[in-house]
Amino acid sequence: YRHLYLYAPDGRLTRQLTHGDWPAEATVALDTKRRQLYFVGWQKSPVERHLFRVSLDGGDPEQLTRDPGTHGARIAPDFSSFVDVSDSLKRPPSVRVRGMDGDVRHVIHEPVPIDLDLTPPELHQFRTASGVELHAAVYRPRAESKAPVIVSTYGGPGAQMVNDSWGQTVDLRAQMLAEHGFVVVKIDNRGSDRRGLAFEAPIKGALGDIELDDQTEGLRWLGSLGYADLSRVGIYGWSYGGYMTLMALLTRPEVFKAGVAGAPVTFWEGYETAYTEKYLGTPQDNPEGYRRSSVLSYVDQLRGKLLLVHGMIDENVHFRHTARAMQALIDAGKPFETLIYPNERHTPRSERDRADMERRLLEFFQRNL
């Protein structure tokens, strides 16, 4: 895990300030007079984020924010108070001034309650067969019978899908799908963020495999709850999530029956080297890893229904990725659908295009699950 260390001016380590199976994620302020360092991170659960204070002279960190959820902070110049910007599944973002004891001194912004008729997802944690603890968010439909399942995924490094934040509740695509009778599940697989090096490192050298092992284990766990029909499982994602969607359909066809892949990376030699080589090395040093990690290596295994979505002026994942996948699928005689936006970049921005995309996504899953 990432931790804080105090060094002398000559570069010698004085002491480690934080310890344990949790991360100190970012420093916020340093009080040189009182010799105290403020930082954000988590100690009890990776689905939350809190403000902490630790002495430069040693001792245990003190958690200053107590309300469940996600907190960000700015410290007053005299270190008498801090601005707490926080939210949770049940609470939209608010801005409060708190004393250093954590008590509220002044409310800057309190959201006006509006009945959005949105049910927050349920947050769960479970263990895989290999003993790894994973976290999941589940959006349940109102239907009583077993419902088809849609996995909402990103799955890549540096990101977290499951957290105690208002953004989870107002994920309107997940809410829309649940409203139309689907169970929607998000699972933070190994390789994702905020869980330390041992959790993030297993994907090094080959992408798109370990991540899907955890996603399929998560589906088995979900099936044990009794309300999910695992014979009807779909998946969708964007960017790395689009890559995950394609790899799921191609390498786990017995599990995933339909998928919507948005702006997917399909061959890692064609993506940004500064990102890719952190995890795969170079194609010259790791040709087998690149082959195993490429969507193009598995197109002949497609059995489920596929919708490819991409903006033609995508400056992040270039449209060439989808074009190569389309040609490979055609060459393999595999049917698929496309949704191409000529004037969109990495994420559709125009209201008309976004509305069209959501309508087409819903119709695709209703037709195929």
pLDDT in tens, 228-272: 999 999 999 999 999 999 999 999 999 999 999 999 999 999 999
Chain CA centroid to CA 182, Å: 20
Q: Which of 3, 45, 346, 356 is catalytic?
A: 346
pLDDT at residue 41 greater than cutoff 90 = yes
Helix ranges (H only) for the chain are 166-169, 172-179, 197-200, 210-223, 240-251, 273-280, 287-293, 320-331, 351-368
Q: Classify 105 as helix, strand or coil.
A: strand
Residues 135, 125 contacting (CB under 8 angstroms): yes
pLDDT at residue number 289: 99
Q: Which of 239, 293, 294, 297 is catalytic?
A: 239
Q: Is 45 known to be catalytic?
A: no
Q: Which of 297, 314, 318, 321 is catalytic?
A: 314
pLDDT at residue 19 greater than cutoff 80 = yes
Query: What average pLDDT does the segment 23-47 reach?
Result: 98
pLDDT at residue 213 greater than cutoff 90 = yes
CA dihedral in degrees (216, 219, 223, 225; nearest 10)?
A: 130
Q: Is 94 known to be catalytic?
A: no
Query: What average pLDDT does the segment 332-353 reach?
Result: 98
Q: Is 124 known to be catalytic?
A: no
pLDDT at residue number 116: 87
pLDDT at residue 110 greater than cutoff 90 = yes
Q: Could you give all domains of the chain from N- to C-terminal order, each with its CATH number?
A: 5-109 (2.120.10.30), 122-368 (3.40.50.1820)
Distance CA 111, CA 92 (A): 6
pLDDT at residue number 185: 99
Residues 73, 67 contacting (CB under 8 angstroms): no
Q: Classify 34 as helix, strand or coil.
A: coil
Distance CA 256, CA 245 (A): 9
Query: What average pLDDT does the segment 333-355 reach?
Result: 98
User: Which residues is 133 bridged to in the sheet?
Assistant: 127
pLDDT at residue number 143: 81
pLDDT at residue 113 greater than cutoff 80 = no
pLDDT at residue number 223: 98
pLDDT at residue 225 greater than cutoff 90 = yes
Which CA distances in Å does 57 have to 5, 25, 35, 140?
A: 11, 20, 7, 49
